[in-house]
Structure 1
Amino acid sequence: MPGPRGSLRWKLTLVHWAVIALVLAAGMLYLHVSLSRQLVALAEEGLARDARLALHHLLEAARRGPADADALAHEIGRALGMRVTIIAAGGRLLGDSGLAAQDLERAENHAARPEVVAALRLGMGKDTRRSATVGHPLLYLALPIREGPFAGGVLRLARDLGEVEGTLARMRGILYAGGGLAFLLALGISLGAGEVARRAIGEILRTVEAIIGGDFARRIGSARRDELGDLFRALDALSAHVEARLAELRLERDRLEGILSGMAEGVMVTDGEGSILLVNPALRGFFPSLPELLPGGSVPLEVLRAPGVQEAVRQAIEGRDARLAREVEILGPPQRVLALSAGRHGEGRAGSLILVFHDVTELKRLEAVRRDFTANVSHELRTPLTAIQGAAETLHDSASADPEAVRRFAATITRHCRRLTSLVDDLLELGRIESKGERLQPREVSVRAAAEAALRVLDPLIKERRAKVSVEVPGEADRAWADPAALERILINLLQNAVSYSPEGSPVRVTARGDGEEVAVSVTDEGEGIPPEHLPRIFERFYRVDSSRSRERGGTGLGLAIVKHLVQGLGGGVEVESAPRKGSTFRFTLPRGA
Structure 2
Amino acid sequence: MAGLRGATMVLGTLTLLSFLAGVLAASASEALIAFLCFLVAMVLLPLVVREHRTNAAAARETRAAVAAMRRIASGNFDVRPERLTSTTLSGLQAPFAAMTEALAALFSQLADHREQLSAVLDTMADGVILVDPDNRIALSNPAAHELLGVEVPRDTPLSSVLRDHELRALVTLCRESDQRTYTELALANPRRNLSATATPITTTPAETQLDEQETSVLLTLHDLTPLRQLETTRREFVANVSHELRNPLASVKAMVETLEGGAVSDSAAAPDFLARINREVDRMNTMVNDLLELSRIESGQSELHREPVDAAATIAAVCTDLEHRIAETGVEVTVNIPGGIVALGDAEKLQQVISNLLDNALKFTPRGGAIELCARNAAQDCVLVEVRDSGPGIAPEHLPHLFERFYKVDRSRGDQGTGLGLAIAKHIVEMHSGEVGVESTQGTGSTFWFTLPRAP
Query: What letter matches 1:218 in structure 2?
Result: V
Q: Alpha-carbon deviation of 1:300?
A: 5.3
How far did 1:419 drift? 0.5
Secondary structure of the residue aligned to 1:327 is strand
Q: 1:233–1:440: structure 2 CA closer, same or farther, 3 Å change rule?
A: closer
The answer on whether the counterparts of 2:382 and 2:452 sit within 8 Å (CA) in structure 1 is: yes
Matched, 1:472 2:329: no
Shift of the 229–364 alpha-carbon distance from structure 1 to 2, 3 Å rule, reads same
> Deviations 1:186-224 (Å, cap 9, x if unpaired)?
xxxx9x977763553244224422441x33243337545
Q: Which residue of 1 aligns with 2:257?
A: 393
Q: Which amino acid aligns with 2:224?
A: V
The answer as to whether partners of 1:451 and 1:491 remain within 8 angstroms in 2 is yes
Indicate the SS of the match to 1:403.
coil
Conservation of the 8 A alpha-carbon contact between 1:498 and 1:508: yes
Deviation at 1:435, TM superposition (A): 3.2
**Superposed CA offset, 1:355-396 (max 9, x none):** 222222221121111111111111111111111111011011
Alignment-derived partner of residue 443 in structure 1? 307
> Is 1:499 equivalent to 2:356 in the alignment?
no
Match of residue 192 from structure 2: 336
Between the aligned partners of 2:430 and 2:409, the Cα distance in structure 1 is: 23
> Aligned with 1:216: secondary structure?
coil
Aligned sequence identity (%): 36
Superposed displacement of residue 242, structure 1: 3.5
Determine the C-alpha separation between the residues in 2 that align with 1:564 and 1:283.
Answer: 34
**Which range is displaced more, 395-404 or 556-565?**
395-404
Contact 1:271 1:351 in 2 (8 A): yes
TM-aligned CA distance change 1:578 to 1:219, over 3 Å: farther
The DSSP-based 3-state class of the residue aligned with 2:412 is: helix
Once structures 1 and 2 are overlaid, which stretch shifts more, 274-283 or 363-372?
Answer: 274-283
Deviations 1:379-416 (A, max 9, x none): 11111111111101101112465221111211111110
1:409 aligns with 2:273: yes
2:434 partner SS:
coil
TM-superposed deviation, 1:559? 0.8
Unaligned regions of 5+ residues in structure 2, if any?
9-51, 204-211
2:168 matches 1:313? yes
Task: Report the counterpart of residue 123 of structure 1 in structure 2.
Answer: none
1:328-373: CA deviations, max 9, x gaps? 334566x432222222324999532222222222211211111111
Q: Does the Cα contact within 8 Å between 2:171 and 2:219 map onto a contact in 1?
A: no
Pairing of 1:378-389 with structure 2 (within 5 A): 378-389=242-253
Change (3 A) 1:336 1:524: farther
Against the structure 1 CA distance between its residues 289 and 573, is the aligned structure 2 distance closer, same or farther, given a 3 Å change threshold?
farther
Note if 1:359 corresponds to 2:223.
Answer: yes
Q: 1:223 to 1:357 in 2, by over 3 A?
A: same
1:257 and 2:118 equivalent?
Answer: yes
Change (3 A) 1:12 1:324: closer
Rate the CA distance shift 1:369–1:238 in 2: closer, same or farther, 3 A: same
Partner of 2:344: 481
Aligned equivalents of 1:208 and 1:522: distance in 2? 78
Q: Is the 8 A contact 1:273 1:317 kept in 2?
A: no
Structure-to-structure mapping, 1:251-290, within 5 angstroms: 251-286=112-147, 289-290=150-151
Alpha-carbon distance between aligned partners in 2 of 1:314 and 1:492, rounded to the nearest angstrom: 57
- Higher relative contact order (Cα pairs below 8 Å, separated by 6+ residues): 2
Aligned-partner SS, 1:351:
strand
1-side partners of 2:82 and 2:390: how far apart? 90
Determine the C-alpha separation between the residues in 2 that align with 1:339 and 1:374: 26
C-alpha distance in 1, partners of 2:303/2:332? 34
Is the Cα–Cα contact under 8 Å of residues 419 and 554 in structure 1 kept in the other structure?
A: no
Maintained 8 Å contact 1:216/1:240 = yes
Cα distance change on mapping 1:340 and 1:498 into 2, 3 Å: farther
Distance change (3 Å), C-alpha of 1:246 and 1:317: farther
Provide the residue aligned with 1:574 in structure 2: 436
Tell me what 1:564 maps to. Answer: 426
State the secondary structure of the residue aligned to 1:547: coil
Contact 2:353-2:425 at 8 Å conserved across structures: yes
Q: Tell me how far apart the structure 2 counterparts of residues 394 and 250 of structure 1 sit (CA, whole Å).
A: 84
Q: Deviations over 1:281-321 (max 9, x none)?
A: 44455356537x6xxx43555786x743x641343225644
Query: What is the CA deviation profile of residues 150-207 of structure 1, one whole-angstrom value per residue up to 9, with x for unaligned ones?
Result: xxxxxxxxxxxxxxxxxxxxxxxxxxxxxxxxxxxxxxxx9x9777635532442244
User: Contact (CA 8 Å) 1:268, 1:279: kept in 2 or not?
Assistant: yes
Please report how far the alpha carbon of residue 426 of structure 1 lies from its aligned counterpart in structure 2 after TM superposition: 1.0
Normalising by structure 1, report the TM-score.
0.59
Kindly name which structure, 1 or 2, has the bigger radius of gyration based on alpha carbons: 1
What pairs with 1:144-293 in structure 2 (closer than 5 Å)? 197-212=59-74, 214-220=75-81, 223=84, 239-240=100-101, 242-286=103-147, 289-290=150-151
* 2:268 counterpart SS class: helix
Work out the number of aligned pairs and report it: 399
Alignment correspondent of 2:372? 509
Displacement of 1:234: 7.6
Partners of 1:325 and 1:581 in 2: CA distance = 55
- 1:229–1:367 CA distance, 2 compared to 1 (3 A): same
Contact 2:196 2:219 in 1 (8 A): yes
> Unpaired runs of 5+ in structure 1?
1-7, 16-189
Alignment match of 1:420 (pick from 269, 284, 298): 284
The alpha-carbon distance between structure 1 residues 290 and 400, as it changes in their structure 2 partners (threshold 3 A), is closer
The superposition leaves residues 420-461 of structure 1 with CA deviations (integer Å, 9 ceiling, x where unpaired) of 111111122222323333332111111122222222333344
Distance 2:361 2:220 in 1: 48
- Kept in 2: contact 1:325–1:342 (CA 8 A): yes
**CA distance in 2 between partners of 1:354 and 1:545 (Å):** 49
Distance 1:350 1:533, change over 3 A: farther
Per the alignment, residue 40 of structure 2 pairs with: none
Counterparts of 2:82 and 2:363, CA distance in 1 = 92
Aligned pairs (5 A) from 1:134-145: none
